[in-house]
Amino acid sequence: MDAAVALVFSLCCLLLLSLWRQSSERAKLPPGPTPLPVFGNFFQIDVKNVSQCLTNFSKVYGPVFTLYLGMKPTVVLHGYEAVKEALIDHGEEFAGRGRTPMIERLSKGRGIISSNGERWKETRRFSLMTLRNLGMGKRSIEDRVQEEAQCLVEELRKTNGSPCDPTFILSCAPCNVICSTVFQDRFDYKDQDFLTLMRKLNENARILSSPWMQICNNFPLLIDYCPGSHRTLSKNVDYIRSYLLEKIKEHQESLNVANPRDFIDYYLIKLKQTNPNQQSEFTLENFVMTVFDLFAAGTETTSTTLRYALLLLLKHPDVTAKVQEEIHRVVGRNRSSCMQDRSHMPYTDAVIHEVQRFINLVPNSLPHAVTCDTKFRNYFIPKGTMVTVSLSSVLNDSKEFPNPEIFDPGHFLDKNGNFKKSDYFVPFSTGKRSCAGEGLARMELFLFLTTILQNFKLKSLVSAKDIDTTPVVNGFASLPPRYQLCFVPI
């Protein structure tokens, strides 16, 4: 009996304590709906339609507001002005990465996506510079993507124009581009190492974006009860680690400092240059996680965008016809498309931009955090507070893009049919944390899509008006519904 009383008493104390902590913290943070103890605003958020929910809250609380996901507050930035003011004008303060317990366990703060501070700066600088150097090398990244585009077309030819679900093939190509950037060579699509790598990456993506994982992240006490999934995650990272180690050994033997071939070579050169007695961020463990991050960030994103693009092209045959007309006029049949063609293909460029705007792939970006105590629009945001950046509120702005819920390449064209740039085009986010692979991703989207459309007519199994393009929301990403199509050789 006494024990029960004591238990109830201490629970009450905990509850009061958390209420008190919440209310003193809330006084200075931006306004927001009143949170429940422990659960916060969890029950007020429709997990099926988070973006719409945030839009609804912003109508009540303004463009900068606070939500509690579980016990932790997150400051939401909604709309172009707030996002730009935070990520550009206060770039340094808002460049932190929000820590989610699951990712923390997986990456241990290493790599580029989930690191912070000096390690993040060094790793990001190294990665961007290496991608840039490889872009200019003897065998440039453009060559690699063009090669992959041809292999992709060959693989699609094997379907013989019969109905297929393009998911698998479309995820091989972007994964292989990262492979050829990191390991020098692409793989055959049937290579066992390649298939295993893809399987491990897919499994991690699936686990990390499951609804259960979102719940674990908000209520970290549950993590140890999540049946083994974080162990599976780490096992998959370990697999990639040992594969990478093998490759690094091979590279060490054939390294020519004057002629680096890939990401691994640049890492080995960097290692040679750093003083072994000095503390450095260029450790093997950090490199392993960085490579893992390139795969994690660069495969699913690009392949989902490609898959969604094809669905939208099936839904809008008039748009597809205009793109194909432009391809045949500018590129013709006898050669592969290259990046130089893009400036002569405003319509195609506009279509790809509109695909990215419309599908809103990562509606709330990845979680940010403030790197120090920050004063923002008269609010006080303590160091380490999570920040949610609503990219969808910018991409869906109805002043910049009239009728934003409609797919219309005209959103990126002027009256004369020239390509029209927009500051509101933020599918890669913006500021110091923005996507490190934007250049590569845009190259892949352009070269893969133009090469596919140069070689195939897309045929839908149902009539265009019956095609559903509503996204299936899944963790951080908006995915297209499953569909099939035929690639009919031209």
Ligand X SMILES: *[C@@H]1O[C@H](CO)[C@@H](O)[C@H](O)[C@H]1NC(C)=O
User: Which residues in this chain contact ligand HEM in the complex, by CB under 6 A?
Assistant: 97, 112-113, 124, 293-294, 297-298, 301-302, 305, 361-362, 365-366, 368, 427-429, 433-437, 440-441
Residue 473 interacting with ligand X (CB under 6 A):
yes
77 in helix, strand or coil? strand
Please identify, using beta-carbon distances, which residue of 56 and 133 lies nearer to ligand X.
Answer: 56
Rounded distance between C-alpha atoms, residue 148 and residue 167, angstroms: 16
**Secondary structure E strands in 429-476:** 456-460, 472-474
Of 396, 429, 451, 455, the one binding ligand X (CB under 6 A) is 396
Q: Which does 471 bind (CB under 5 to 8 A by kind): ligand X, ligand HEM, none?
A: ligand X
Q: How far is the CB of 478 from ligand X (least distance, A)?
A: 7
73: which strand partners?
68
Q: Which does 404 bind (CB under 5 to 8 A by kind): ligand X, ligand HEM, none?
A: ligand X
Half-sphere exposure of 388 (CA within 13 A, CB side): 27
129 to each of 11, 124, 125, 176, how far by Cα in Å?
Answer: 53, 8, 6, 21
185 to each of 123, 181, 234, 440, how far by Cα in Å?
Answer: 23, 8, 26, 17
Please calculate the CA angle 375-376-378 and round it to the nearest 5 degrees: 85
Largest CA distance in the chain: 86
Rounded distance between C-alpha atoms, residue 214 and residue 102, angstroms: 9
Please identify, using beta-carbon distances, which residue of 298 and 427 lies nearer to ligand X.
Answer: 427
Please identify, using beta-carbon distances, which residue of 411 and 460 lies nearer to ligand HEM.
Answer: 411
**Are the beta carbons of 52 and 46 closer than 8 angstroms?**
yes
Q: Which does 24 bind (CB under 5 to 8 A by kind): ligand X, ligand HEM, none?
A: none
Please identify, using beta-carbon distances, which residue of 390 and 460 lies nearer to ligand HEM.
Answer: 390
The radius of gyration computed from the CA coordinates of the chain, to the nearest angstrom, equals 24
Q: Which does 429 bind (CB under 5 to 8 A by kind): ligand HEM, ligand X, none?
A: ligand HEM
Beta-carbon contacts of residue 311 (< 8 Å; ≥ 6 apart): 467, 469, 480, 481, 483
Sign of the Cα torsion 65, 69, 73, 77 reads: negative
Q: Which does 424 bind (CB under 5 to 8 A by kind): ligand X, ligand HEM, none?
A: none
Q: Hey, which residues between 35 and 94 contact ligand X (CB under 6 A)? A: 46, 48-49, 51-53, 55-56
Q: Which residue is nearest to ligand X (CB)?
A: 55
**Are the beta carbons of 149 and 470 closer than 8 angstroms?**
no
Total residues in contact with ligand X, by rule CB under 6 A:
18
Of 334, 340, 378, 416, the one binding ligand X (CB under 6 A) is 334
Q: Which does 361 bind (CB under 5 to 8 A by kind): ligand X, ligand HEM, none?
A: ligand HEM
Please identify, using beta-carbon distances, which residue of 180 and 478 lies nearer to ligand X.
Answer: 478
Tokens of 347: 């319509």
Please identify, using beta-carbon distances, which residue of 102 and 366 lies nearer to ligand HEM.
Answer: 366
Rounded distance between C-alpha atoms, residue 252 and residue 255, angstroms: 5
Please identify, using beta-carbon distances, which residue of 238 and 468 lies nearer to ligand X.
Answer: 468
The identity of residue 142, as a single letter, is: E
Please identify, using beta-carbon distances, which residue of 22 and 94 lies nearer to ligand HEM.
Answer: 94
Q: How far is the CB of 253 from ligand HEM (least distance, A)?
A: 26
Of 398, 415, 463, 466, the one binding ligand X (CB under 6 A) is 398
Q: Hey, which residues between 300 and 329 contact ligand X (CB under 6 A)? A: none
Rounded distance between C-alpha atoms, residue 243 and residue 194, angstroms: 11
Query: For binding to ligand X (CB under 6 A), which residues are involved?
Result: 46, 48-49, 51-53, 55-56, 332, 334, 392, 396, 398, 404-405, 470-471, 473
